């Protein structure tokens, strides 16, 4: 029986995060996010069949930059790829970099969005941080690309529709 491969593995770029993990221990950093860890691969969607990629990271943690208390969140990313998709293990390692990093909720979400935009140059991107309430207040900051000033409902419409917002 022939095994179906959706793409030719020989044409993929060398992916450092995926594979020999033991030899890549330097990628397992928790003190500061590093966008250079993020890796991509060619988008398998065609011009005839577009798509939206939705990713949820339910175990995101960072530190309050003032108190040092831990903050917990589910990070939701949705994007319409142009030519590239993010490799999931590299995204996991990147998000792990926030674990011992002091950063306000809004800054975390914005940094994630900006690093993904720099890597992927997507048609549209949406990042939401669903932070666990602290003191009875829940923060769910959102970053969108492209951003249309004065028209919040126009920002990343395909991604928002996918997320049913």
Catalytic residue positions, numbered: 64, 71
Contact by Cβ (8 Å): 77, 133: no
Backbone angles phi, psi at 125, to 5 degrees: -150, 145
User: Taking the CA atoms of the chain, what radius of gyration do you get in angstroms?
Assistant: 17
**Could you tell me if 60 and 95 are in contact, meaning their C-beta atoms sit under 8 angstroms apart?**
yes
Cα(88)–Cα(130) distance, integer angstroms: 20
| Short-list 135, 66, 55, 59, CA closest to 98 | 59
Contact between residue 51 and residue 81 where contact means Cβ atoms under 8 Å apart: yes
């Amino acid at each position: 029986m022939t095994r179906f491969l959706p793409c030719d593995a020989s044409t993929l770029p060398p992916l450092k995060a995926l594979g020999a993990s033991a030899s890549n221990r330097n990628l397992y950093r928790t003190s500061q996010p590093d966008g250079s860890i993020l890796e991509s691969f060619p988008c398998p969607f065609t011009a005839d069949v577009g798509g939206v990629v939705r990713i949820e990271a339910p175990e995101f943690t960072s530190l309050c930059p003032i108190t040092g208390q831990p903050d917990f969140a589910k990070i939701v990313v949705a994007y319409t790829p142009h030519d590239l998709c993010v490799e999931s293990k590299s995204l996991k390692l990147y998000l792990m970099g926030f674990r011992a990093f002091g950063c306000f909720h809004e800054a975390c979400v914005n940094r994630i969005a900006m690093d993904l935009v720099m890597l992927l140059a997507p048609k549209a991107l949406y990042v939401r941080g669903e932070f666990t309430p602290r003191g009875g207040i829940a923060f769910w900051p959102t970053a969108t690309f492209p951003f249309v000033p004065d028209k919040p409902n126009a920002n990343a419409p395909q991604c928002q529709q996918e997320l049913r917002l």
